[in-house]
Chains A and B, each alone.
Chain A
Amino acid sequence: MSFLHYWRAMSGIVGRELWRFVTQRERFISALVRPLVWLFVFAAGFRAALGLAISPPYETYILYEVYITPGLCGMIQLFNGMQSSLSMVYDREMGSMRTLLVCPLQRWFLLLSKLLAGTAVSVLQVYVFLAIASLYDIHVPLKGYWMVLPALLLSGLMLGALGLLLSSFIKQLENFAGVMNFVIFPMFFMSTALYPLWKIKESSALLYNLAQYNPFSQAVELTRFALYGQFNLHACLYTLGSFIVCMTIAIIGYNPSKGMMMKKKGGESSNS
């Protein structure tokens, strides 16, 4: 198997996902509506209630809308990662996942390609969101727009890998509601997406610890600093580490000899 084979396969998987996304107008719009509602409605309402002190990377007092923007970028990627995972479970139930798994490439490579495809879609969504936010007077330094790209790639990969990991353990599509309740919402609310850590510490030490060690918080902070042209090493290493852990478990989960595929007989076939 040559390098060209891998390249063509990865291009095929990523290209297909991007094509599907841009041609499915409803999916494109609905992916943007959620963070925009948070920005225009929730953040506007909270502006008066929440006072924010100056803290890095901000050098001056900021509006709550400005604070929440990196968190909403993370929200887009979190939901996108979970949607990719949902589509993997759906594909597996419908059987189309098999087409991918029977091609002559290593499974880890196929999963990584799927992950990159999902991440590419989420990065595209974030840039469209940032463009709309700039029309709402939420500006970041110009260099922040390109410096945020590697941060978005890493956080997208980490959240996508988390989705992959979950999809390798979810037996049926119906179980996905549980993921919403037990993974997405706790991850989002127990993070620095909506409020800074010091603010959380004021109300609960436990919540503070949970938010601090939540990988989603670190992904949001990585994005926040990058948007203002700064590099947050701690957040980067934490996000990278979380990505490696999630991806490794997901690969094991999809391994035919060690993973969960064996236990998913019910979802795969009806006439064993």
Chain B
Amino acid sequence: MSEPSALAIEGLSFSYGNHNALDDINFNIQAGECTLLLGPNGAGKSTLFSLITHLYDTRQGHIQLCGFDIKQQSRLALAKLGVVFQQTTLDMDLTVDQNLRYHTALHGMSRKLATERIQQELERLNMFDRRFEKVRQLNGGHKRRVEIARALLHKPSLLLLDEPTVGLDVPSRQNIVDYVHRLAAEEKIAVLWASHLMDEIHANDHLIVLHKGKIKANGTVDEVLKQTGVTTINEAFSRLTQGQAA
């Protein structure tokens, strides 16, 4: 029997009153695949993330994480999920270590396992030496690294990133982009990355272009370029969204 997709979305629609935020969304993400979700403001990216993280309930359609339905088996599904939100969600008055330990407690890890995982994830991001510093003292790029480390502590199968590089300088941004792509390739973690920055896309990434709640393109970089008949992702995006900025 084949492994279930890390994320499988089928016939998903969602509306706020009369406003249709998402309309018949269908896509899958497999283990080790890095998928960039592109769309202008108001495309439905945040609504989609709220549904995947079960902040909102799915009313129409299905979302499955590693074969677990987010509505029917939400706890099993959420255990497979690691999330980095758009805004920093670390506690500024606590140290890096305290923030991470809080997360391990929420995931029911023992103290010993938590210590091991914290060391492992922070070392990979070159942040281990700074574990006893208060988060407030870190710069934006380092805070982001801590948030990525936190999202990976419980070994999720799917990593969700909601515009994680917003407001960061170019080197910090590049560092995070490269790290997440390496994670997908080496650790076989499925990644769904909402972004509006075209330089964050790698050649072998999978792309989903969302516009006004509908999927306008879904495929590899080459497939999307072929579909739109242009040579750059910027042009393809512009064509698919009728010229709207990402």
A102 touches B50 (CB 8 A): no
Asked whether any CB of chain B lies closer than 8 Å to the CB of A257, the reply is: yes
A256 touches B78 (CB 8 A): no
Asked whether any CB of chain A lies closer than 8 Å to the CB of B44, the reply is: yes
If A16-B94, A24-B93 touch, whether A104 touches B75 (CB-CB below 8 Å) is yes
| Nearest Cβ on chain B to A91's Cβ, whole angstroms | 9
Q: How far is the CA of A99 from the CA of B93 in the complex (A)?
A: 16
The residues in B between 178 and 236 inclusive whose CB is less than 8 angstroms from any CB of A are none
Q: How far is the CA of A107 from the CA of B103 in the complex (A)?
A: 16
| Nearest Cβ on chain A to B54's Cβ, whole angstroms | 6
Asked whether any CB of chain A lies closer than 8 Å to the CB of B132, the reply is: no
| Chain B binding surface, main DSSP class | loop
B16 touches A102 (CB 8 A): no
What total of chain A residues lie within 8 Å of the partner, measured CB to CB? 39
A256 touches B106 (CB 8 A): no
The residues in A between 218 and 272 inclusive whose CB is less than 8 angstroms from any CB of B are 255-257, 261-262, 265, 268-272
Asked whether any CB of chain B lies closer than 8 Å to the CB of A142, the reply is: no
Asked whether any CB of chain B lies closer than 8 Å to the CB of A1, the reply is: yes
Instruction: Classify chain B's interface size.
Output: 35 or more
| Nearest Cβ on chain A to B68's Cβ, whole angstroms | 10
A1 touches B55 (CB 8 A): no
The residues in B between 97 and 135 inclusive whose CB is less than 8 angstroms from any CB of A are 98, 101-110
Asked whether any CB of chain B lies closer than 8 Å to the CB of A177, the reply is: no
* Chain A residues within 8 Å of B106, by CB: 9, 12-13, 99-100, 103, 105
A96 touches B91 (CB 8 A): yes
| Nearest Cβ on chain A to B97's Cβ, whole angstroms | 12
| Top 7 closest pairs, chain A to chain B, by CB | A12-B105, A5-B108, A257-B57, A269-B46, A103-B106, A95-B87, A104-B79
Q: Which residues of A contact B (CB under 8 A)?
A: 1-2, 4-6, 8-9, 11-13, 15-16, 19-20, 23-24, 94-96, 98-106, 255-257, 261-262, 265, 268-272
A-B pairs with beta carbons under 8 Å apart, 11 shown: A8-B105, A9-B105, A94-B87, A96-B90, A98-B53, A101-B53, A102-B83, A106-B75, A255-B57, A256-B55, A268-B50
Q: Which residues of B contact A (CB under 8 A)?
A: 16, 21, 41-47, 50, 53-57, 59, 71, 74-79, 81, 83, 85-91, 93-94, 98, 101-110
